[in-house]
């Protein structure tokens, strides 16, 4: 998309591109799979001190030890980590002796994991794939989907993914996920900034960030409009479905899972009425 025509800014194209999109409308460009952006993302994943593409190292350590204990993860068990990124959770899980399969759509993250984790932990397997396309059949004892990935999907994609995870698990298998909740602080805002080259592109660009709220279902939308010096414009859209406890419980139950326990997070902290995240443990029935 181009917003400069005959040396003029086409304001109606610009206006269109920053207005509130229909809920779950996709952006014009890739995000996790983009060659340049995925490199910036990998740097964020690997920074142990900031919660951006992955949680901080301290949180990952705490979550993995909670999950390992809770699921009795050990040699002989098969674990599926969906949206594994560069394998930060896979690595910790693999230390138990279990066999861990990580799936991610980002080629860069999968290459990193194959080069940096696989050589030391032989029983890890990394597959570059859209997790909506997995076709495992009763192959895993435990499946994980961590860092609120479930909330980025449309309701249709959520149902599809739940059915795929259900099919991937053995009888009584455990599925662990975290989501953001309706208690998350949100704001509707517009923020404009100019970069000489940064997260979205090595070349100079304008970034217009619009955040929107949707009521049905309650969802936060982040829309980044990125315009380069030639007027070439990309729109990246990210959504966070904000669940109530009843909604997520009903969705999981309807898709063949029994709720074992809902925590405030995957460190196992107790739920409160103010919890802005849920760490959820369910079992295939």
Interface ranges with ligand SAM (CB under 6 A)? 32, 45, 53-54, 83-85, 88-89, 103-106, 109, 130-132, 146-147, 149
The CB-nearest residue to ligand SAM is: 83
What is the helix (H) or strand (E) element at residue 166, kind and residue range?
helix 155-168
Min dist. Cβ of residue 87 to ligand SAM (A)? 8
In eight-state DSSP terms, residue 23 is T
Min dist. Cβ of residue 52 to ligand SAM (A)? 9
Rank residues 3 and 92 by Cβ distance to ligand SAM and give the closer one.
92
Q: Is the Cα torsion angle 40, 64, 146, 143 positive or negative in sign?
A: positive
Distances (CA, A) of 226 to 181, 209, 213: 29, 9, 21
Min dist. Cβ of residue 84 to ligand SAM (A)? 6
Min dist. Cβ of residue 32 to ligand SAM (A)? 3
Give backbone dihedrals phi and psi of 100, rounded to 5 degrees, phi first. Answer: -120, 130
Min dist. Cβ of residue 145 to ligand SAM (A)? 8
Rank residues 82 and 248 by Cβ distance to ligand SAM and give the closer one.
82
Min dist. Cβ of residue 51 to ligand SAM (A)? 10
Min dist. Cβ of residue 20 to ligand SAM (A)? 23
* C-alpha count within 13 angstroms, C-beta hemisphere, residue 281: 21
Report the alpha-carbon distance of residue 10 to residue 255 in Å, rounded.
Answer: 47
Residue whose C-alpha is closest to residue 148's, from 245, 266, 272: 266
Rank residues 233 and 277 by Cβ distance to ligand SAM and give the closer one.
277
Rank residues 83 and 173 by Cβ distance to ligand SAM and give the closer one.
83
Q: What 3-state DSSP class applies to 167? A: helix
Residue whose C-alpha is closest to residue 195's, from 9, 36, 29: 36
Rank residues 53 and 282 by Cβ distance to ligand SAM and give the closer one.
53
Rank residues 117 and 227 by Cβ distance to ligand SAM and give the closer one.
117
In eight-state DSSP terms, residue 21 is P
Strands 218-228 and 205-215: antiparallel
| Range 221-253 burial, b when 16+ CB lie within 10 A, else e | bebbbbbbeebebbbbbebbbbbebebbbebbe
Rank residues 150 and 257 by Cβ distance to ligand SAM and give the closer one.
150
């Amino acid at each position: 998309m181009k917003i400069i025509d005959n040396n003029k800014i086409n304001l109606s194209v610009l206006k269109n591109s920053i207005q509130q999109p229909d809920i779950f409308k996709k952006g014009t460009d890739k995000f996790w799979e983009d060659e340049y952006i995925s490199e910036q993302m990998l740097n964020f994943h690997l920074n142990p001190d900031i919660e951006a593409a992955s949680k901080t190292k301290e949180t990952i350590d705490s979550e993995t030890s909670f999950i390992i204990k809770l699921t009795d993860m050990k040699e002989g068990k098969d674990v599926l980590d969906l949206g594994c990124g560069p394998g930060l959770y896979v690595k910790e899980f693999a230390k138990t002796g279990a066999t861990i399969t990580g799936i991610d759509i980002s080629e860069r993250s999968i290459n990193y994991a194959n080069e940096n984790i696989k050589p030391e932990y032989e029983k890890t397997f990394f597959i570059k794939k859209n997790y909506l396309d997995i076709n495992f059949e009763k192959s895993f004892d435990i499946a994980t989907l961590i860092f609120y990935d479930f909330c980025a999907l449309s309701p249709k994609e959520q149902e599809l993914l739940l059915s795929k995870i259900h099919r991937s698990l053995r009888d009584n298998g455990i599925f662990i996920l975290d989501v953001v909740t309706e208690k998350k602080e949100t704001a509707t805002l517009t923020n404009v900034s100019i970069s000489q080259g940064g997260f979205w592109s090595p070349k100079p660009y304008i970034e217009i960030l619009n955040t929107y709220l949707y009521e049905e279902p309650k969802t936060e939308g982040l829309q980044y409009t990125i315009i380069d010096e030639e007027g070439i414009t990309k729109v990246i859209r990210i959504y966070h479905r904000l669940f109530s406890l009843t909604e997520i419980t009903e969705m999981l139950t309807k898709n063949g899972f029994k709720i074992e326990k809902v925590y405030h997070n995957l460190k196992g902290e107790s739920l409160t009425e103010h919890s802005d995240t849920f760490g959820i443990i369910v079992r295939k029935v």
